[in-house]
Amino acid sequence: MLWFVVVTWLCNLNCRYCGNEPNPYGEPTWISYDLKELKSFISRDSEPIIAFYGGEPLLAHKTIIWILDNIPAEHYVLQTNGILLRRLPPEYLRRIDTILVSIDGVREVTDYYRGEGVYDAVVSNVRYLRRIGYSGDIVARMTVSGSSDIYRDVMHLVNLGIFDHIHWQLDVFFDAPPHRYDDFSSWLRQYVKGVDLLLDFWFNELSRGRVVGLVPFQGILKILLLGNYVKPPCGSGQTAFMISTSGKIFACPISPSEDFLVGHIARSEPRELPGKIAIGPPCTGCEFFTSCGGRCLYANKTMLWGENLFYEVCRATKHLIRRIEGLIPKIRRLVSDGLVSWDDILYPPYNNTTEIIP
C-alpha cells in the first residue's frame, strides 16, 4: 500500500490556492509520535510505498533521512515544492524513486500562484538533481487554476526537457466558492480545448516513436487497457492512506478531518483499513465508473461546489476518457509496428501519488 507520511504540516510557501494552514484540523505541526511506532506499523505491510508529504516535507529533512535509513519500502516518493531539495544529501536524494516537484507552467503563472522567484528556484534545483546523477522519475506536478492555459503551460514544461513526466490537477472542489475563476464554466471549456490539443500533440509524437510523459493520458490509457481495479485511481481509502503527524490514519491525504479518519498507527493493522471509506453515489452509478473510478474521494464525499459544478468537471473527464478510448486501436498498431512499447507508454508502474484523473 501507499503511505503518505506527513513529516510536517508547515510550509515555506503561501500559494494562492492553498493558504498555508500549518495546523489543519488541530493536527500537530511536527510528528508527535515515536518514529519506532511508524516503523512497526509499516513493517506489517508486505509491499509498502512511502511518500514523504506535507506541508513541505523537506522542512523535516532529518526525519526523512531517519525513515530512509530505518524503514524499508518497495519505493520511496517525495512530493515537494522544490525550493529545499538541496537539504537532502545527494546520496539520499538518489534513493528516492520518484520526486514530484510543484511547478505550474510558465514563469509568470508559477510565480503568480506560488510566489516571486519560485519558478527559477524550482528549475535550478531540478537541473541540480540531474547533475548529481539522480536517475529516478522526476515529475512536474502542476496545479491548474484560473490563470492557467493548459496547452501553453504543459508544452512549456515539455520543452524544458528536464522532467520525465508531467501531471496536472485541476484546482477544483478543495474550497468554496470557486473564487479563483472569473467564469469557471467558460474557463473549463477552454481547458477542454487545450487538453484536446495536448492529446493531439501526444499522439502525433507517439506516431514518430517518441513517448512524451503526460501522466493523465498514459494513466487513463493504462486503466482502459488493463482495468481499473482501484477506485478512485489514486487509491485513497483502498490502497493509499495518509499518516498524519499525530499518528492518525486518514483515507485521503488532503483531508485530516474526522470524516476521513480510519485508524491510528498504534492501534490499527494495515489490512483492516481498505474500504472503510469508499467512493459512493453519484459516481458508483455512472457508466464511466470503471474507467474514471470516481476521480476523487474528497470531491465525491464533500461536493463543496455543489452538484452542478461537480457534473461540469465530470463532463470534462468523460470527454478525455472517450478521446483516449478512441485512440486505442491506433496505439495498438504503433506498438505492433514496433514504433513504441507498452512498457514506455503505460504509466505509472506503481502508485507514485500521481492521481491520474486531473
CA distance 211 to 92: 29
Q: Cβ distance 98 to 141 under 8 Å?
A: no
Residue 229: the pLDDT is 74
Across the chain, mean pLDDT equals 96
Q: Report pTM.
A: 0.97
pLDDT recorded at residue 256: 86
The 10s digit of each residue's pLDDT in 28-84 is 999 999 999 999 999 999 999 999 999 999 999 999 999 999 999 999 999 999 999
229-255: per-residue pLDDT in tens?
Answer: 799 999 999 999 999 999 999 999 988
What is the Cα–Cα distance from 53 to 77, expressed in whole angstroms? 9
Cβ neighbours for 74, distance < 8 A, ≥ 6 positions apart: 47, 48, 49, 350
Residues 251-282 pLDDT 10s = 999 888 899 999 999 999 999 999 999 999 99
Give Cβ neighbours of residue 270 (< 8 Å, ≥ 6 apart).
1, 41, 42, 44, 45
Alpha-carbon distances of 113 from 166, 181, 190, rounded to whole Å: 18, 13, 20
Side chain identity at residue 99, one-letter code = I
C-alpha cell at 208: 514518430
pLDDT at 23 over 80: no
Please report the pLDDT score of residue 107 as a whole number: 98
Tell me the average pLDDT across 223-232.
89
C-alpha–C-alpha distance, residues 297 and 257, integer Å: 13
Q: Is the pLDDT of residue 25 over 90?
A: no
Rounded Cα gap, residues 77 and 85, in angstroms: 13
pLDDT confidence of 92, banded at 50, 70, 90?
A: very high
Give the model's pLDDT for residue 69.
98
CB atoms within 10 A of CB 280: 12
Q: Which pLDDT score is estimated for 177? A: 78
Contacts of 97 (CB under 8 A, 6+ apart): 75, 76, 77, 136, 137, 352
Q: What is the pLDDT of residue 227?
A: 87
pLDDT digits (tens, 9 = 90+) for 125-179: 999 999 999 999 999 999 999 999 999 999 999 999 999 999 999 999 988 778 8
Domains defined along the chain, listed by start: 2-345 (3.20.20.70)
Judge contact between 140 and 127, C-beta under 8 A: no
Q: Which amino acid is at 152?
A: R
Residue pair 242/6 in contact by the 8 Å Cβ criterion: yes
pLDDT(206) > 90:
yes
Cα separation of 21 and 55, whole Å? 9
Tell me what pLDDT residue 299 has: 95
Per-residue pLDDT of 326-346, as tens digits, reads 999 999 999 999 999 999 999
Average pLDDT for 307-324: 97
**Cβ-based neighbours of 112, under 8 Å, separated by 6 or more:** 16, 147
DSSP single-letter state for residue 237: T
